[in-house]
Chain A
């Protein structure tokens, strides 16, 4: 039996996998690394960028707060006065838990994986709100280019610190590029503002030992796949069924792999049922096949919002592997 890492490589290269890659099994994501302060459920925190996040008890995640009192960037033309990237020089003790975790991983079996969130596009709207972030791309393009480059430079500084200490094999990077049925930006706008900065960032990780870039976007983003390939993304995690994934696999398989197709919104609920999850997993595997595809809940990271759903999906994928290989 192939190791998880070997099986992943066979899957993404179109070789001979001996089972479906099972969700995130091939990635050992080092979540202990210092990154930014985030709220726990029920908390409101202001992070190192000055962005305030609220995680109400009855929600499945945190939201940035953008009322007048809390919005960091109200006038994009003054971004240099207002946006201050935090230092990436963390003391050694902040890295200890992450280093210990990475050291414990058998790299023949799994990829030691860095985690970065939020991404560059997300940071623009975390700082100034969704509407301003998008309108400023039209109204103040030069300032937006400057800000985006500043954010990319920060990511590269952070990457350098991370690579020096952890020597990751893979990167799992979060940046939602759309909603469920459409991308937020036109392809032309994404290309103009975000393609080159992301090529720089992902290129830096790859030039420094990272073998695999996994980009999370649980959305529609079929119109961005050619850019994902240019940016250096190896796996798009979060691909929803709205993307017509089988067609994407036909068109782009061999250049990029698609991870998802089990829409979390349809199966991850308080009253979840294993038979419903199994049905979605079966459809995903039968539609998408054994190459350039990894069945997975579309939610980011290796857990579900409601207990048991992730594990149930894992079991269903194992059953599909026994049937199909």
Chain B
């Protein structure tokens, strides 16, 4: 592996820039997906948009000159992670509650074993909400947290 430049640019710098770039890509891709599915029906569906805005602010703090915003960025990213977990659980609950609306289960939903109903909800066998989609927000937030930790931290002088 031959690289030009010093360690700061080829090691830590590369990882840091890569993590920040992946965070930015995650924000943009999630925004595109939310736009595609018109994810703005009601206040609850605005939660991921707010989370994206918070994550964008956190990313700006990480790349801002001086690099003093790392702690604040971590806190904001963890808030987004929490919102992501909430989203996954909420989507699963929405699907679970949709069981009786599905013509295949309208008469039998309540009689099914709880684990079966949970499985159908989590796997989107019933309901309209993609269960793990909000997890992308959490993954993106974790990328940003990693960009502020350990050897991946912003290289000095950048």
Are A and B interaction partners? no
Give the B-binding residues of A (Cβ under 8 A).
Answer: none
